[in-house]
């Protein structure tokens, strides 16, 4: 293990931060140097994420610690009790997996932006905010400290709303910016309240320390209040129905390449939710209750998201609602896993039932987590193609578009790939992850699978509507716009290749990266705590 892999977790946060601060200065030199610099920073960040993940998935899978600002992680008190006081980053399978998703989305989003803003005013501020958002997302995924998590959460809120609203001349983007910022801040404040409650109860902020305390002492009323606040606040930030109202505004009004990064931001909140449910409150509370709350959120999200997408006439808002519905599948997979885990941990169950619970619960988790990666790639691809479409046609109204396929052949192909993959058409990757979720949730209740499958079919209908409206039809004046420039096509092609690769070789990716991530949540609680507190 060399110095670079040891420092990789903190460099993932420090390098984008450096980029975010230096970009406005380098921007004064001109557009060329600035684009070069931002491209370099994003590439270095992605390489670091790849290095971290490769190193982690190749190793035994024990959580990696990085302590900020010191050699050791604990401070022995005069009474002999040691409390982990330093801020630390803790990387386990799930964190490493999430950094891969974020790196993929930001890399393609940033490189797409260089061409997207070629003729428009994409200032240095845009790239600065993009790097800041990336930084916050990485921080949320890597941190092992509750308060530090809140700080990164607020960094993502501010940067995301800056990105939504930085085009101050657009009426709707200002409205969206205000609404999203209010709701983000509110949810962030309730998360902070939960952190304060946990600190007051247990006297520590380290996630592993808190989890150990809750595990050994059992959850008190204060802990349960904190759980409720964290659950709702993070569900809001992830965009679960009925707390999703900001999500279509945010994804729809942000610049197209940034909508994909905003989805990655929602997924980071989802990651935090899973961390809270499996690690922080993995023992000591009624897991099946938590699981059913998540499942109810999931069913509402899947169904309302997809039905609302069907009636949109703004192409970006339509895809934004589609993105909301996909969050539901991830919640469903993990919720089913949680319910299954509860029956596994419950005493008195027959041995066969336990094996069954382990099997299907774990499969559901694999499905939900694999779907995060698939969703990031597919929805990223769809938002990028939408950006190319809007740029070519100059409108977002599906009723005014038509016939774009005549000139934009590659964009059309990429849109079809993304739409089929997200709607779960075999042999693309969305089918593989959704199949895992359907079959595992069928074991809990057939009703869940039925709704999930029906909504997936409706999602295909949604994309058929968008495809018919924008790409098909006779050649019109609007469709005379040319193909998107190469700088936009290459990021789309990269995402399309990722989609196809995940689709054709799901077994390989599930075995190498998804299973360690699912294991980290399912089995990894003791290891996560033990890495900080010792023993375990």
Partner 1 sequence: MNVGSFPFIIAALLVVFGLYALLFKRNLIKMVIGISLVETGVNLFLVMVGYRSGGAAPIYTYANAGERMVLPTPQALTLTSIVIGLATTALLLSFAVFVHRHYGTLDVRKIKELRG
Partner 2 sequence: MNQDGMSIIVRTVTRFVYGLVLVFGFYVIMHGHLTPGGGFQGGAVVASAFALLLVAFGAAGVKGRLSKHLLQSLEEIGALAFLGLAFAGIGTAFFYNLLANSGSLFGASVALGPNAGFLNTGGLVPLMNWAVGLKVMTGIASIVIVMLVGARKEETE
Partner 3 sequence: MGGINTGFGVWNPIAWTLLFLGILIIGFLVRSRGQKNYKRGTDQTQSFLSGNAEPENPEALHVRGENLYWGMVHGLSAYYKRVRAWHTGILNDYVAWFVGALGLVFVILFWIG
**Residues forming the site for partner 3 (CB under 8 A):** 178-179, 182-183, 186-187, 190, 224-225, 227-229, 231-232, 235-236, 242-243, 245-246, 285-286, 289-290, 293, 304, 307-308, 310-311, 313, 315, 359-360, 363, 398-399, 401-403, 426-427, 431-432, 435-436, 439-440, 442-443, 461, 464-466, 468-470, 472-476, 503-508, 510
Q: What is the C-alpha separation between 228 and 424, in angstroms, rounded?
A: 33
By CB under 8 A, the count of residues binding partner 1 is 34
Residue 498 contacts by C-beta under 8 Å, 6 or more apart in sequence?
A: 104, 377
Residue 152 contacts by C-beta under 8 Å, 6 or more apart in sequence?
A: 136, 137, 139, 140, 143
Residue 493 binds which entry of partner 3, partner 1, partner 2, none, with Cβ cut-offs from 5 to 8 Å by kind? Answer: none
- Regarding 175 and contact with partner 1 (CB under 8 A), the answer is yes
Cis status of the peptide bond prior to 243, with omega within 30 of 0: no
Of the candidate residues 5, 24, 50, 526, the single one contacting partner 2 (CB under 8 A)? 24
Query: DSSP label at 220?
Result: -
- Regarding 135 and contact with partner 1 (CB under 8 A), the answer is no
> In the complex, what is the shortest distance from the CB of residue 481 to partner 1, in angstroms, rounded to a whole number?
26
> In the complex, what is the shortest distance from the CB of residue 28 to partner 2, in angstroms, rounded to a whole number?
8
> In the complex, what is the shortest distance from the CB of residue 7 to partner 1, in angstroms, rounded to a whole number?
24
Contact 364, 342 (CB under 8 A): no
Residue 403 binds which entry of partner 3, partner 2, partner 1, none, with Cβ cut-offs from 5 to 8 Å by kind? Answer: partner 3
Residue 508 binds which entry of partner 3, partner 2, partner 1, none, with Cβ cut-offs from 5 to 8 Å by kind? Answer: partner 3
Residue 399 binds which entry of partner 3, partner 2, partner 1, none, with Cβ cut-offs from 5 to 8 Å by kind? Answer: partner 3
Task: Tell me the sheet residues that pair with 83.
Answer: 75
Of the candidate residues 29, 40, 59, 70, the single one contacting partner 2 (CB under 8 A)? 70
> Binders of partner 1 among 253-282, rule CB under 8 A?
253
> Binders of partner 1 among 371-400, rule CB under 8 A?
none
Determine the 3-state secondary structure of 447 from DSSP: helix
Of the candidate residues 5, 22, 62, 485, the single one contacting partner 2 (CB under 8 A)? 22
Q: Which of 420, 430, 494 is nearest to 463 (CA)?
A: 420
Q: Dihedral through CA 270, CA 275, CA 278, CA 284, nearest 10?
A: -120
Which structure tokens are listed for 372?
């995060």
Of the candidate residues 4, 21, 450, 475, the single one contacting partner 2 (CB under 8 A)? 21
- Regarding 248 and contact with partner 1 (CB under 8 A), the answer is yes
Instruction: Return the HEC string of 391-420.
Output: HHHCCCECCCCCCHHHCCHHHHHHHHHHHH
- Regarding 25 and contact with partner 2 (CB under 8 A), the answer is yes
Q: What is the C-alpha separation between 318 and 396, in angstroms, rounded?
A: 10
Contact 156, 130 (CB under 8 A): no
Pure H helices in 203-245: 207-217, 221-238
- Report the residue number, 154 or 483, with the smaller CB distance to partner 2: 154
- Specify burial of residue 476 (Cβ count, 10 A radius: 0-12, 13-18, 19+): middle
Task: Tell me the sheet residues that pair with 84.
Answer: 74
By CB under 8 A, the count of residues binding partner 2 is 16
Which structure tokens are listed for 95?
């964190």
> In the complex, what is the shortest distance from the CB of residue 170 to partner 1, in angstroms, rounded to a whole number?
8
Of the candidate residues 179, 354, 400, 406, the single one contacting partner 1 (CB under 8 A)? 179
Q: Which of 323, 237, 268, 242 is nearest to 134 (CA)?
A: 268
Residue 401 binds which entry of partner 2, partner 1, partner 3, none, with Cβ cut-offs from 5 to 8 Å by kind? Answer: partner 3
- Report the residue number, 183 or 369, with the smaller CB distance to partner 1: 183
Interacting residues with partner 2 (CB under 8 A): 7, 10, 14, 17-18, 21-22, 24-25, 28, 66-71
């Amino acid at each position: 293990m060399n110095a670079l892999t040891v420092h990789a977790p903190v460099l993932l946060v420090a390098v984008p931060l450096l980029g975010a601060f230096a970009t406005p200065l380098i921007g004064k030199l001109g557009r060329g140097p600035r684009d070069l610099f931002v491209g370099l920073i994003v590439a270095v960040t992605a390489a670091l994420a790849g290095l971290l993940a490769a190193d982690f998935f190749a190793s035994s899978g024990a959580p990696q610690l990085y302590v900020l600002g010191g050699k050791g992680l604990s401070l022995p008190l005069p009474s002999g009790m040691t409390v982990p006081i330093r801020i630390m980053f803790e990387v386990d399978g799930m964190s490493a997996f999430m950094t891969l998703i974020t790196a993929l989305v930001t890399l393609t989003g940033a490189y797409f932006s260089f061409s997207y803003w070629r003729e428009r005013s994409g200032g240095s501020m845009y790239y600065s905010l993009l790097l800041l958002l990336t930084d916050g997302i990485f921080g949320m995924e890597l941190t092992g400290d509750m308060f530090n998590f809140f700080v990164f959460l607020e960094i993502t809120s501010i940067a995301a709303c800056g990105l939504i609203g930085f085009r101050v001349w657009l009426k709707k983007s200002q409205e969206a910016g205000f609404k999203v910022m209010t709701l983000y801040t509110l949810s962030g404040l309730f998360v902070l309240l939960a952190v304060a409650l946990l600190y007051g109860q247990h006297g520590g902020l380290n996630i592993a320390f808190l989890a150990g305390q809750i595990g050994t002492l059992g959850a008190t009323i204060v802990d349960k209040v904190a759980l409720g606040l964290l659950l709702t606040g993070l569900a809001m930030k992830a965009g679960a129905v009925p707390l999703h109202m900001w999500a279509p505004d945010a994804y729809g009004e942000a610049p197209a390449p940034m909508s994909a990064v905003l989805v990655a931001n929602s997924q980071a909140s989802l990651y935090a939710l899973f961390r809270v449910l499996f690690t922080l409150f993995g023992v000591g509370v009624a897991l099946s209750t938590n699981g059913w709350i998540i499942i109810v959120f999931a069913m509402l999200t899947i169904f309302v998201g997809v039905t609302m997408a069907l009636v949109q006439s703004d192409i970006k808002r339509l895809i934004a609602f589609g993105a909301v519905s996909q969050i539901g599948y991830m919640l469903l997979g993990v919720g089913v896993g949680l319910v299954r885990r509860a029956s596994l941990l419950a005493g008195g169950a027959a041995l066969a039932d336990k094996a069954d619970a382990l099997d299907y619960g774990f499969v559901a988790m694999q499905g939900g987590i694999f779907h995060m990666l698939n969703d990031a790639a597919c929805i990223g691809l769809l938002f990028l193609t939408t950006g190319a479409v809007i740029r070519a046609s100059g409108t977002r109204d599906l009723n005014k578009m038509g016939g774009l396929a005549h000139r934009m052949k590659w964009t059309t192909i990429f849109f079809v790939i993304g739409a089929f993959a997200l709607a779960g058409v075999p042999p693309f990757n969305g089918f593989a992850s959704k199949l895992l979720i359907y079959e595992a949730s069928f074991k809990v209740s057939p009703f869940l699978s039925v709704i999930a499958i029906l909504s997936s079919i409706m999602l295909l209908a949604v994309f058929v509507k968008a495809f018919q409206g924008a790409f098909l039809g006779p050649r019109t004046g609007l469709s005379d716009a040319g193909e998107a420039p190469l700088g936009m096509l290459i990021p789309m092609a990269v995402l399309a290749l990722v989609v196809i690769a995940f689709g054709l070789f799901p077994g390989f990716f599930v075995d190498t990266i998804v299973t360690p991530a699912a294991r980290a949540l399912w089995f990894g609680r003791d290891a996560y705590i033990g890495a900080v507190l010792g023993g375990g």
